Each structure stands twice: as structure tokens, then as C-alpha cells.
């Protein structure tokens, strides 16, 4: 039971470099999310997707891009890394629900710790 | 004002104590409330999930939601050292659009 898998676990980037954070889930969940977690700031939503081919911005999307070509995968792209993007990034997923009893909670991966120097 | 406010702690209690963790929220549209537990260097793990007001119990854990005062609580009975973690509360108009608190760090000592 893998759940939500994120790779890599750790990464150091130089300013201006680009990279893709990978996220895959094996629970056939429709909804997927990317958050960043900074000390004392809680989890902030970057982007989310309600299904393959559909993505939307969250609270802090600037500097990031996403795509969702399959149900399982939801990669997060940093094009020009900046020190302000040093953070822990979490991917999450949840099944689609309808009505008051159908909404389902999110399940998280173990994160990618990213440092930009 | 943050939409979800949570005391960061740390909160230190002896083993066996009853722990009370609390959050306040400001958005009246919130219907879904969750508590996540996060161990160091791990992802948040769902602990309790509540829709609208009321209580929900699961083993040693009880979640309470009071929508009239916009107050959510998590009680842990017979606390164990393994309960030492950061506890995140979250609320949302839907379960897919959550606003998280900053987390309360709990330390249960022997």
C-alpha cells in the first residue's frame, strides 16, 4: 500500500536552476494537490487538480507550474529556482466525492525537502 | 487575521495526561474540519475528520466542533510518548479546499 509517493526526498538547487518534483498515487484518486510548508506558516496550497487534464491555482502559485496527464501523476515544476522557494513540498490526493457525505479527506506523501542556494 | 489560528506550543505533558489542542477559525462557510498528526520529517497523517458541528470519537481521540463559536478541539486521553508530534487543524467549505493552522507541537514525557 504505497499511497502517495514523492521523489526526490531531498534536493539542493542553485539559484536559476530548474527541476521537477514528482508525485504519484496508486489509490485512483481524482483530486491531487501540491502544498509548501514553511516554519511557522502552516501548509499553503500551490496548485491542485480535480482530474487528468484539469489544474488550477492555489494560494501561492507564482514560480511554479503543474501538469496532470494521468490520474496517477501530478508533477510540480520550478523553472527558475529562487531562495524564497526553499521549503518542504507535500503532495496530497483525495477521492472525488459528492454531497455532504462524499467529500473525502486528503492523504499526504512524506515530502520533498528543497534548498535553493 | 488568519483564517485558522492555532497556538504553536510547544505543549509538554506527562504520560497519561489528557491533552487538549484547540483552533479557532474565522470563515463561516467552513463545514469540514480535520486534524492531522505530523511526525518529524514526515507528511501529515489524517487523525480525525468531522463534518459540521458535534463530537467524534476514535479510540483515545475525540474531536469537537463548535460552529457557533468557530472553535475546534482535539482531546487525547491517556497520552503516550508516541503521541509526541505536531498536530495540524484544518477547515474548509469542502474537504478538497482546506485552510490549515500552523500546527501545535506536543511533547509527551515519561
Q: Which residue of A has its CA nearest to B43?
A: A110
Candidates A41, A42, A94; nearest CB to B95: A94
Determine whether the interchain pair B34/A48 forms a contact, defined as Cβ–Cβ distance below 8 Å. Answer: no
CA B76 to chain centre: 10
Beta carbons of A55 and A73 less than 8 angstroms apart: no
Residue A103 has pLDDT above 70, yes or no: no
pLDDT of residue A101: 46
Selection from B59, B95, B100, B70 nearest residue A90 by Cα: B100
- pLDDT tens, position by position, B62-77: 999 999 999 999 999 9
Q: Which position has the higher pLDDT, B45 or A99?
A: B45
Q: How far apart are CA B102 and CA B34, in angstroms?
A: 13
CA distance A116 to chain B (A): 18
Residue A40's pLDDT band (boundaries 50, 70, 90)? confident
Give me chain B's average pLDDT, please: 93
Q: Which position has the higher pLDDT, A98 or B87?
A: B87
Selection from A78, A109, A99, A103 nearest residue B97 by Cα: A103
Highest mean pLDDT among A89-98, A99-108, B31-40: B31-40
Look-up: residue for cell 515519561? B110
Question: Choosing among B35, B94, B95, which should be mutated to test the A contact, i.e. which has the most A CBs within 10 A?
Answer: B95
- pLDDT tens, position by position, A52-101: 999 999 999 999 999 999 999 999 999 899 999 999 999 999 987 555 44
Determine what percent of chain A is predicted with pLDDT higher than 90. Answer: 80
Q: What is the DSSP letter of B2?
A: -
Residue B108 has pLDDT above 90, yes or no: yes
Determine whether the interchain pair B36/A108 forms a contact, defined as Cβ–Cβ distance below 8 Å. Answer: yes
Q: How far apart are CA A30 and CA B48, in angstroms?
A: 21
Q: Which residue of A has its CA nearest to B37?
A: A108
Look up residue A46 and give its three cell numbers: 500551490
Question: Choosing among B44, B93, B105, which should be mutated to test the A contact, i.e. which has the most A CBs within 10 A?
Answer: B44
Residue B54's pLDDT band (boundaries 50, 70, 90)? confident
Beta carbons of A9 and A109 less than 8 angstroms apart: no
Amino acid at each position: 500500500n504505497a499511497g502517495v509517493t514523492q521523489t526526490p526526498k531531498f534536493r539542493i538547487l542553485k539559484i536559476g536552476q530548474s527541476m521537477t518534483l514528482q508525485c504519484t498515487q496508486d489509490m485512483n484518486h481524482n483530486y491531487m494537490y501540491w502544498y509548501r510548508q514553511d516554519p511557522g506558516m502552516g501548509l499553503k496550497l500551490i496548485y491542485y487538480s480535480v482530474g487528468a487534464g484539469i489544474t488550477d491555482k492555489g494560494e501561492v502559485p507564482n514560480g511554479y507550474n503543474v501538469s496532470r496527464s494521468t490520474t496517477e501523476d501530478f508533477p510540480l515544476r520550478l523553472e527558475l529556482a529562487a531562495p524564497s522557494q526553499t521549503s518542504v513540498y507535500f503532495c496530497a490526493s483525495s477521492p472525488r466525492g459528492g454531497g455532504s457525505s462524499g467529500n473525502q479527506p486528503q492523504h499526504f506523501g512524506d515530502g520533498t525537502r528543497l534548498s535553493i542556494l | 487575521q488568519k483564517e485558522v489560528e492555532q497556538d504553536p506550543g510547544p505543549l509538554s505533558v506527562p504520560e497519561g495526561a489528557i491533552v487538549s489542542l484547540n483552533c479557532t477559525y474565522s470563515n463561516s462557510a467552513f463545514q469540514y474540519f480535520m486534524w492531522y498528526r505530523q511526525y518529524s520529517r514526515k507528511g501529515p497523517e489524517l487523525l480525525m475528520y468531522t463534518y459540521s458541528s458535534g463530537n467524534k470519537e476514535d479510540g483515545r481521540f475525540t474531536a469537537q466542533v463548535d460552529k457557533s463559536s468557530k472553535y475546534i478541539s482535539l482531546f487525547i486521553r491517556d497520552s503516550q510518548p508516541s503521541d509526541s508530534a505536531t498536530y495540524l487543524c484544518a477547515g474548509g467549505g469542502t474537504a478538497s479546499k482546506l485552510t490549515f493552522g500552523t500546527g501545535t507541537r506536543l511533547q509527551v514525557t515519561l
